[in-house]
Amino acid sequence: MMRKTKKGTCTTVFSGVDEAVVDQVLREEPVEVKMKLATADFAIVGPDFGGTKWTMLFDWSFKRGDWLRPITGWVAEPEEIAEWERVRRGT
């Protein structure tokens, strides 16, 4: 999601996923998926507690190198869910 700042420039903001969903996906069965990334270090797909699959992009925190920072997330597309299922099956 993009939003305008006071100076008229656009900034990317974390949208579509709140902290609770991020926590749930990280606690369930997330898998790293390969996708072309421009502003994040890696992507995961996984279910929340209700079973909805989410795609989330993460970057390493500038504060600590062992912390992850969510960049953005969305309800997973069918091809992202298929990749999650493939990795979970181990094929």
Return the pLDDT at 16: 63
* 42 within some domain: yes
Structural domain total, the chain: 1
Average of pLDDT values for 20-48?
89
* 72 within some domain: yes
* 11 within some domain: no
Tell me the whole-structure pTM to 2 decimals: 0.75
The more confidently predicted of residues 28 and 7 is: 28
Confidence at 85, pLDDT banded by 50, 70, 90: very high
* 86 within some domain: yes
**Range(s) of the domain holding residue 91:** 31-91
* 67 within some domain: yes
* 14 within some domain: no
* 52 within some domain: yes
Cβ atoms of 56 and 37 within 8 Å: the answer is: no
Q: Report d(CA 85, CA 65) in Å as an integer.
A: 30
DSSP, residue by residue, 20-73: HHHHHHHHS--EEE----SS-SEEEEEE-TTS-EEEEEEEE-SS-TT-EEEEEE
Q: Which two tokens stand for residue 10?
A: 């656009």
* 7 within some domain: no
Q: Which two tokens stand for residue 15?
A: 């949208």
